[in-house]
Chain A
Amino acid sequence: MRTVSAQAMEIVKASAPALEKHGLAITTAMYARLFENKDIEAMFDRAAQASGEQPKRLAAAILAYAKNIDKLQNLGPAVSRMVSRHIETGVKAEHYPHVANALLPAIRDVLGEEVATDEVLAAWGAAYWMLADILIATEAQAYEDAEAA
């Protein structure tokens, strides 16, 4: 089970101010990388992309996560929204590495390698996979329940 070490948690929390300032630039860069894969791009709501709503939503979610990584119980409503949306759009376990591979380099692109050091990216990688494990399992269960119903 993937969890985040105490040090990594501190690093993620410490990056909240930078995310507050540059979050939208990071998620915009992330979607640009992600949509190099056309199959993945087709899964997303084009209107929400065009209006900038989706990058804004994701930036807010990442910031909320950074602030609450040591208080996961505060993330219930956010996780609930993500799971519902993921189930509507058919997100599966195999999609998560694509997002990680787009998000982490986007953090470095925007913040620069002096701020987004290897250590910072490793901390965010661990944070990403801790949440991804939760989402993947709950979504898999929801798909199973839907099939059984």
Chain B
Amino acid sequence: MDQIEEAALARLIPAFYDRVRADPHIGPLFDDAVDHWPAHLEKLVAFWSSVMLTTGRYKGSPVAAHLKHKARITPAMFDRWLVIWSATTDELMPPDAAVALQAKAARIAQSLRLALFFRLDDPGRGRPEASLHSSIKG
């Protein structure tokens, strides 16, 4: 991970979120969710510093932060986020670093998607409800 350093993340993250905010699919969500962008960007640099450099600078729960906005988030928004992330990291980071950042983001997205959407496609919980309804109707 020699090619990723704090300074590079401090350049990457603001550039990435400039693009996110300009994006018609996910920009409005982020702009509504974030009150104070300079502080939020600092927090995100700390987050990425923690996950890529294991600095432990970020203390918080990304899952909880996303659950607060669950009603507005769709699975497709994660794909959009990742597309912008890939393009931005490819452009601004050395190739090895970009690959590492993309792989990490994909895994984080998997975790967040599981946390946010596990109820939607759940046959284990859907079935009893369905049978209850049919028995009420019958």
A interface residue numbers (CB < 8 A to B): 1, 3-4, 6, 72-73, 75-81, 83-84, 130, 133-134, 136-138, 140-141
Pick from A3, A72, A73, A80: contact of B104, CB under 8 Å: A3
Given the contacts A3-B104, A75-B114, A133 and B61 also touching, CB distance less than 8 Å: yes
5 pairs from A and B in contact (CB 8 Å cutoff):
A1-B47, A1-B50, A3-B107, A72-B113, A133-B63
Q: Are A1 and B111 in contact (CB under 8 A)?
A: yes
Residue from B62, B64, B122 in contact with A76 in the complex, judged by beta carbons closer than 8 Å:
B122
> What total of A-B pairs shows CB separation below 8 Å?
70
Contact A130 B124 (CB under 8 A): no
Q: How many residues of B contact A (CB 8 A)?
A: 26
Cβ–Cβ < 8 Å partners of A133 in chain B = 61, 63, 111
Known pairs A3-B104, A4-B107, A138-B63; A80 contacts B114 (CB<8 A): no
User: From residue 96 to 117 of chain B, which have CB atoms closer than 8 A to chain A?
Assistant: 103-104, 107-108, 110-111, 113-115, 117
Contacts of B104 in A (CB 8 A): 3
User: Per DSSP, are chain A's interface residues mostly helix, strand or loop, or mixed?
Assistant: helix
Nearest CB in chain B: distance from A132 CB, A: 10
Which residue of A has the minimal Cβ distance to B51?
A: A1
Q: Which residues of B contact A137 (CB under 8 A)?
A: 61, 63-64, 67, 115
Which B-chain residue is minimally distant from A77 (CB atoms)? B124
**A72 and B62 contacting across the interface, CB-CB below 8 Å:** no
Check if A138 sits within 8 Å of B121, measured CB to CB.
no
Q: Are the C-beta atoms of B47 and A6 separated by less than 8 Å?
A: no
